Every structure is written in structure tokens, then in C-alpha cells.
């Protein structure tokens, strides 16, 4: 299989590269699994980048750190790292990184709100230690790769079911005493709202525009999102705007004016006041305190092709 992670041509103002999943017949199987080497050298990318797809990495060996949305966490294999679309991540000073990589688009999950919510909960941590689930997760991933490569009749269904089991086991390892998320309309709407504001350009949305796009009234959106998450839609948008601004300040050379625009603010002065209120420091102060690791836009962010099914 030819598995690629590509980025578009960089814009005039260097932004974070966006990797897209390219697999044969993506409308039938927007999914891939394999070793770091099989997926491609840039599965070990040491520069900040984003994905349009989900990635679950089972790290079984190696040294260094995984950096996810500016949080550094030293590798301690075996562990899972979960990256959702729009998050910024990279491997820092990694050496002999080994394990399996699972890549898939949201379509592959068939819109399952519980799995999507679980993935976002897992992605809030730079890594999930597996503990007593280590053996089961390793065996499950080996079986998934076998199904993927042999493509026996019904393999798509087996892979979807196995991915759901993987997500559940990871969530158990992350929060073993936490009850399962409650399904229903509030959870579904909250998951759709969260994906919308976390996607490309999502921070430019208002509560009213997201409600319109989701086909509900602003009041209904407010009620159900608060019921499912404990936070208001406006509060979640502000949190996402702050996170996006931090990503761009730390990982790009965009000016403060450009960061403001990309974070959903037309007025740079208002953006600076907003950022200081949310973080306790100005955008310039924040940028000066983080260690920059900027991507050189002249470097192609395309993984080498790999043989597969």
C-alpha cells in the first residue's frame, strides 16, 4: 500500500504543515496500520505539524519525548499516543523509536460519537501508559495489522470493531475507575461541536454560526453542550482560540497580527487583551518563554512510500 502524509504548498507566511492521509480507495477504507518504517520516515517527524486524520501510536521502544500541543512528555514504552485532527505534535530528540502506527479518517469510525469523544479525551494526554492492558493491546494491534494485510472477507468490519476495542482499552488504561460516557443527543451534539471548532478555520466560528451549521438553535446548542461537557459553547470556543494562538506563537514565525487573524480575531489589539486575560501574559511574552521548533517550509513533509496490501 502507498501510505502518504502530505502537506500543501506553504503559504507566504510560513504556517504549520498539514499532513493528509492518502491511501488507495479512501472512500472504502480510510485506514492504515503498520510499523514506523512501513508507514514512512516522517511518522517519526521531529518538527511541529498537524494532521487532518486521527493517529494512534503504540510505542514499544525508543528514547526521547512526544510533544503534543506544547506539552513535552518523556517516552516510557509501552504506551499509546493519540493525536486528533488539528493538534500539533512531533517527536523530540527521539532515537530507535519502534512500535505500530494506526491512521484513520473520521469516516472510518462511522461517526460514532462515543469513540470520537474517547479519542479526544485520550489526546488530552501526551501519552497513555498501558499497565495491565499492555499484552492485550499488543496482541490486538498485531491482529489488526494481519487483517489489514491479508484482507480476508469482511476485514473492514473486523478492523472497525478492533479499533473500537482498542479505543475502549486505552480509555480504561487512562481512567480505569471512570464510568463510560453517556450516549445520547447531548453527547452527539457536543462531539460534533467540538470537531467543528477544532477543525481547519474552526476558531473563526461563533456560537451562532456553529449552531446554524449544526442545524440547531443557539439556545439548544448552549443547553446540550453544557449538559454533556460542563462548559458553555462560548467557553469552549475561547479555549480553542487560546490553544490555537499558543500553537502558532510557539511553532511558527507568524507575526502577532497574523496569529490574531488565524486565531479568529480581526483586531490584533483585542486579541492581545484576550490572550493576556486567558493566559496571564502577552503573546510576545508567551513566545519568548517557549522553545521554538519551527518547520522549515522548504522541507517536504511527505512520507516515503511503503509496500502494503
DSSP letters for 90-146: EEEEEEEEEEEEEEE-GGGGTT-HHHHHHHHHHHTSS-EE-GGGHHHHHHHHHHHHH
Q: 174 is written with which cell numbers?
A: 487512562
pLDDT confidence tier of residue 19, bands split at 50, 70 and 90: low
* pLDDT reading at 295 higher than 60: no
Flag whether the pTM goes above 0.85. Answer: no
pLDDT at 306: 35
* pLDDT reading at 300 higher than 50: no
Whether residue 57 contacts residue 165, with contact meaning beta carbons closer than 8 Å, is answered with no
- Look at residue 1 and give its three-state secondary structure: coil
How high does pLDDT run on average in the chain?
82
Residues 189 and 185: their CA atoms lie apart, in Å, by 6
pLDDT at 178: 53
pLDDT at 309: 40
* pLDDT reading at 12 higher than 70: no
* pLDDT reading at 180 higher than 60: no
Mean pLDDT of 30-52: 87
User: What's the gap between Cα 135 and its chain centre?
Assistant: 25
What is the helix (H) or strand (E) element at residue 51, kind and residue range?
strand 50-51
pLDDT at 305: 32
pLDDT at 86: 83
pLDDT confidence tier of residue 127, bands split at 50, 70 and 90: confident
Q: 236-282 pLDDT, tens per residue?
A: 999 889 988 988 888 888 899 999 999 999 999 999 999 999 999 99
* pLDDT reading at 10 higher than 50: no
Q: How far is CA 148 from CA 6, 83, 152, 191, in A?
A: 22, 21, 8, 28
pLDDT at 128: 85
Mean pLDDT of 74-81: 92
* pLDDT reading at 228 higher than 90: no
Contacts of 288 by beta carbon, 8 Å cutoff, 6+ apart: none
Q: Which of 22-36, 52-66, 115-129, 178-192 has the highest mean pLDDT?
A: 52-66
User: Which of 43-57, 235-249, 262-276, 286-300 is the least confident region?
Assistant: 286-300
pLDDT at 207: 92
User: Which of 60-64, 149-153, 188-192 is the least confident region?
Assistant: 188-192
Amino acid at each position: 500500500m502507498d501510505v502518504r502524509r502530505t502537506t500543501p504548498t506553504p503559504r507566504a507566511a510560513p504556517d504549520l504543515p498539514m499532513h493528509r492521509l492518502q491511501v488507495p480507495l479512501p472512500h472504502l477504507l480510510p485506514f492504515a496500520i503498520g510499523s514506523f518504517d512501513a508507514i514512512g520516515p516522517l511518522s517519526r517527524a521531529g518538527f511541529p505539524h498537524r494532521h487532518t486524520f486521527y493517529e494512534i501510536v503504540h510505542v514499544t521502544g525508543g528514547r526521547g519525548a512526544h510533544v503534543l500541543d506544547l506539552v513535552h512528555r518523556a517516552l516510557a514504552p509501552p504506551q499509546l499516543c493519540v493525536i486528533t485532527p488539528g493538534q500539533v505534535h512531533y517527536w523530540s530528540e527521539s532515537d530507535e523509536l519502534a512500535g505500530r502506527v494506526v491512521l484513520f479518517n473520521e469516516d472510518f469510525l462511522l461517526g460514532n460519537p462515543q469513540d470520537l469523544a474517547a479519542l479526544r479525551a485520550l489526546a488530552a494526554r501526551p501519552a497513555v501508559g498501558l499497565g495491565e492492558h499492555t499484552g492485550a493491546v499488543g496482541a490486538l494491534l498485531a491482529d489488526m495489522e494481519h487483517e489489514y494485510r491479508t484482507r480476508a472477507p469482511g476485514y473492514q468490519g473486523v478492523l472497525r470493531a478492533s479499533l473500537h476495542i482498542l479505543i475502549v482499552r486505552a480509555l480504561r488504561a487512562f481512567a480505569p475507575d471512570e464510568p463510560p460516557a453517556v450516549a445520547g443527543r447531548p453527547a452527539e451534539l457536543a462531539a460534533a461541536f467540538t470537531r467543528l471548532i477544532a477543525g481547519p478555520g474552526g476558531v473563526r466560528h461563533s456560537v451562532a454560526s456553529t449552531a446554524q451549521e449544526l442545524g440547531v438553535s443557539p439556545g439548544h446548542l448552549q443547553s446540550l453542550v453544557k449538559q454533556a461537557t460542563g462548559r458553555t459553547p462560548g467557553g469552549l470556543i475561547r479555549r480553542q482560540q487560546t490553544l490555537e494562538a499558543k500553537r502558532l506563537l510557539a511553532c511558527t514565525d507568524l507575526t502577532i497580527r497574523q496569529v490574531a487573524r488565524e486565531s479568529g480575531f480581526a483586531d490584533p489589539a483585542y486579541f492581545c487583551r484576550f490572550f493576556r486575560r486567558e493566559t496571564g501574559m502577552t503573546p510576545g511574552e508567551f513566545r519568548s518563554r517557549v522553545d521554538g521548533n519551527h518547520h522549515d517550509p522548504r522541507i517536504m513533509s511527505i512520507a516515503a512510500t511503503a509496500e502494503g496490501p
